[in-house]
Structure 1
Amino acid sequence: MSVFATLGSDGSYQLTQAGYLLIIAIMVGAMLLVCLIRRPDEKGSLGTRKLVFSAMAIALATVASMIKFFHLPMGGSITLFSMLLVSLIGYWYGLGTGLFAGLAYGLLQLVIDPYILSLPQMLVDYVFAFMALGLSGVFCHAKHGLLKGYLLGVVGRYFFAVLSGYIFFGSYGNEYGMSALGYSLAYNAIYIFTECALTVILLLIPAVSKAMARVKSMALGQS
């Protein structure tokens, strides 16, 4: 990793200029794939609309991720509904687009606030965990699809967060007399499911539910 990252004094890797450029290139490629992924019944103009709405949602999610109501000492925060904003893309455009958008968002988080112990840890924390939010696309055509999709995406992100905590950060559980798995399960549940609960309450408000349906119609060019 010497070309793309250098080892810091705290044992974590710091991205080099080449590393940042590589991540940005992958992120741009992911966004272009978002634009290209389409079903046979989609009009050609939807590709541009898809890219614009996806980029807008990712930008808003990035800003929301910086608005933190609570931040845990070892990483993880309760944010201003950032997971919902990423999940919206899958809800609008389906599973494939949602996964690639989650990848782009995860790489953007890696550029903004990287913490890298190893390549596997980086992949789990910044790629797979945020791609999992795109699982919302599984329910893009279902009744109450946004709520169901969001919950599935959150569970997916929690799975990878727990996996990372167990493998790479489980030793911190010794300080609390907990096993590595127990520590990871509890630690990651604090911030992920707290934000999830607040988001579910928001989505259950009828006015918000109607607004989300309206935004989806706009994203699909049906308004």
Structure 2
Amino acid sequence: MLCEGAIMVALSQILSYIKLMELPNGGSLTPAMFPILLFAVRWGLADGLLAGFVFGLLQLMFDGAYAWGWQSMLLDYLVAFTPLGLAGLFQGKRWGIFAGTVLGCFARFVVHFISGVTIYRIYAPTEILGTVFDNPTLYSIVYNGSYMLPNTILALVIAALLYAPLKKFYLGADIQR
């Protein structure tokens, strides 16, 4: 489990450099979340949360962290990536990778949303694509949703494309307990 976790975290870090879209104030569209979600579904909640935390730590260290102080570093990296491990709640379930992806990504979005409302409210009012946002709550939903929704969809598409060839892997049927 430990070796597989290290490989999945390393793979996530490598995939995080494939940025299909990048926003000016942090946030990007990458395939990086999928290995963490897959690991969590295979090994369970505790191991998944740990893998998400380690990935968040690597993102903070190596991905050019966009942060406004230690609070932002804590929320947008260490706390935000950890909930990807919630996918582990669906360990061994037939469609667990899909439900786990939605739950893990939604939980990550919630953390980024809280960060946006509490820390990044200093940007208000903010203009995005010609629309001015005076409300930090609405701004945080729009800004963080603009990359988290596509990230969720991308992870679901990857899971669907790999479902047939990796079904035993998703279900953890190859793990000897």
TM-score (ref. length: structure 1)? 0.71
Which residue number in structure 1 is paired with residue 72 of structure 2?
121
Partner of 1:184: 140
Alignment partner of 1:123: what SS? helix
Query: Contact 1:53 / 1:219 at 8 angstroms: preserved in 2?
Result: no
* Candidates 29, 35, 38, aligned match of 1:85: 35
CA deviation map 1:1-40 (0-9, x unaligned): xxxxxxxxxxxxxxxxxxxxxxxxxxxxxxxxxxxxxxxx
Q: Distance in 2 between matches of 1:201 and 1:110?
A: 26
For 1:167-178, what aligned pairs fall within 5 Å after superposition?
167-176=118-127, 177-178=132-133
Distance in 1 of aligned mates of 2:102 and 2:40: 12
Tell me by how many angstroms 1:139 deviates. 0.6
Cα separation, 2, equivalents of 1:173 and 1:212: 45
Gapped runs of 5+ residues in structure 1? 1-49
Distance 1:219 1:132 in 2: 25
Once the two structures are TM-superposed, the CA of residue 211 in structure 1 deviates from its matched residue by: 2.4
Post-superposition shift, 1:194?
0.8
Distance in 2 (alpha carbons) for counterparts of 1:105 and 1:96: 14
| RMSD of aligned alpha carbons | 1.8
The aligned amino acid for 1:98 is G
Between the two proteins, the alignment pairs up a number of residues equal to 170
Q: For 1:104 and 1:142, locate their aligned partners in 2 and report how far apart those are by CA, in whole Å.
A: 25
Q: 2:19 aligns with which of 68, 82, 89?
A: 68
Q: Give 1:219 deviation, angstroms.
A: 6.1
Contact 2:5–2:39 at 8 Å: present in 1 too?
yes
Provide the rounded CA distance (Å) in 1 between the counterparts of 2:87 and 2:6. Answer: 17
Structure 1 match to 2:116: 165
**Which of 212, 215, 219 is the equivalent residue of 2:166?**
212
Map Cα deviations across residues 27-74 of structure 1 (whole Å, 9 max, x no partner): xxxxxxxxxxxxxxxxxxxxxxx0111111111100111100110011
Once the two structures are superposed, the pairs formed by residues 1-223 of structure 1 within 5 Å of their partners are: 50-79=1-30, 81-112=31-62, 113-176=64-127, 177-178=132-133, 179-205=135-161, 208-216=162-170, 217=172, 220-221=175-176
**Is this contact kept in 2: 1:92–1:219, CA < 8 A?**
no
Q: Could you say which residue in structure 2 is the equivalent of 1:7? A: none
Task: Note the C-alpha offset of 1:203.
Answer: 2.5
Kindly state the Cα deviation for residue 221 of structure 1 after the two structures are TM-superposed: 4.5
The 3 A distance-change label for structure 1 pair 143 and 164 is: same
Task: Give the secondary-structure state (helix, strand or coil) at the position aligned to 1:58.
Answer: helix
- How many angstroms apart in 1 are the aligned matches of 2:91 and 2:120? 35
Shift of 1:198: 2.5
Deviations 1:91-118 (A, max 9, x none): 1110000111111111111110233433
